[in-house]
């Protein structure tokens, strides 16, 4: 497990130019995980016992035909023994036409694999990349390259837009171990996704986990799988999971 004794301080890395049933959870990662974005530690609460931490450690910027890797800007200390998952966040520069070339695929693969190799066997790593429709072929190629290159025993989690799990389903055959649909920052579409999720997650791959935010109202219906919580700008201890309150 990639625990804090191996990530005591998140230091900078090198910079370079119908109804479904959730799949069984891997017990090496808790049933609830808090996302720790790249913000000052004073703004982020420590996780309570039994809650994991998914920590952004690297940003990858894809711009035109080039790329850059930027380490986490703010150091973060967490209590000893916290189960920790490193997260690689990807952004595509909207000001330059995206090439999606082989060099960028290799750069993204290397960024994820470099982080994973800092852990120990049977750990997790997560890719956060909200790919546009025109970027999906690149996303698929990069995910396949990452999966092929990860050390044995390392599991790959990916975040997903909620739309990818309902009407715009395209994740059915992706080579990942976990898909985390994000049920927050949905704006006016939130009521629609509440109704959709109440009817059951349409894409089975999206029934393994889900993400909510602590600065939005709790998701009002039960969703199965591992719960991720995004710590918003006014971070506080997240509310209880409705599924935990409703379960017999």
CB atoms within 10 A of CB 191: 10
Q: Are 157 and 125 in contact (CB under 8 A)?
A: yes
Residue 94, domain member (yes or no): yes
In whole angstroms, what is the distance from residue 112 CA to residue 96 CA?
Answer: 24
DSSP 155-204: EEEEEEEGGGGTTT---TT---SEEEEE-SS-GGGHHHHHHHHHT--SSG
In whole angstroms, what is the distance from residue 28 CA to residue 74 CA?
Answer: 27
Domain that holds residue 198: 32-242
Between strands 155-161 and 226-230, the pairing is: unpaired
**Structural domain count, the chain:** 1
Residue 119, domain member (yes or no): yes
In whole angstroms, what is the distance from residue 177 CA to residue 60 CA?
Answer: 21
Per-residue pLDDT of the chain in tens (248 residues, 90 and over written 9):
333 323 333 333 222 223 333 444 566 789 999 999 998 888 889 999 999 999 999 999 999 999 999 999 988 889 988 999 999 999 999 999 999 999 999 999 999 999 998 865 558 999 999 999 999 999 999 999 999 999 989 999 999 999 999 988 898 889 999 999 999 999 999 999 999 999 999 899 999 999 999 999 999 999 989 999 999 866 556 655 544 443 32
In whole angstroms, what is the distance from residue 240 CA to residue 242 CA?
Answer: 6
In whole angstroms, what is the distance from residue 128 CA to residue 71 CA?
Answer: 15
Please state the pTM of the whole predicted model: 0.84
Cα-atom radius of gyration of the chain, to the nearest Å? 17
Q: Residues in the chain, how many?
A: 248
215: its two tokens = 């600065």
Sign (positive or negative) of CA dihedral 20, 229, 123, 30: negative
In whole angstroms, what is the distance from residue 22 CA to residue 42 CA?
Answer: 35
Q: What is the dihedral of CA 215, 155, 59, 113, to 10 degrees?
A: 170
């Amino acid at each position: 497990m990639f625990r804090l004794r191996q990530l005591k301080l998140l230091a900078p890395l090198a910079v370079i130019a119908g109804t479904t049933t959730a799949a069984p959870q891997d017990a090496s990662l808790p049933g609830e995980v808090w996302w720790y974005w790249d913000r000052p530690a004073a703004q982020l609460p420590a996780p309570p016992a039994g809650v994991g931490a998914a920590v952004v450690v690297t940003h990858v910027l894809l711009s035109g035909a080039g790329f850059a890797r930027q380490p986490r800007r703010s150091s973060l200390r967490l209590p000893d023994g916290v189960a920790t998952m490193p997260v690689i966040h990807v952004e595509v520069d909207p000001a330059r036409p995206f090439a999606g070339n082989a060099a960028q695929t290799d750069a993204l693969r290397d960024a994820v694999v470099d982080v994973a190799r800092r852990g120990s066997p049977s750990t997790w790593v997560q890719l956060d990349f909200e790919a546009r429709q025109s970027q999906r072929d690149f996303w698929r190629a990069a995910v396949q390259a990452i999966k092929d290159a990860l050390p044995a025993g390392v599991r790959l989690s990916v975040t997903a837009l909620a739309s990818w799990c309902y009407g715009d389903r395209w994740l059915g055959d992706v080579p990942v171990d976990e898909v985390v649909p994000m049920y927050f920052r949905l704006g006016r579409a939130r009521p629609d996704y509440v109704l959709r999720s109440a009817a059951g997650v349409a894409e089975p791959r999206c029934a393994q986990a889900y993400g909510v935010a602590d600065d939005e109202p709790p998701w009002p219906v039960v969703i199965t799988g591992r719960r991720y919580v995004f710590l918003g700008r006014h971070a506080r201890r997240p509310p209880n999971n409705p599924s935990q309150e409703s379960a017999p």
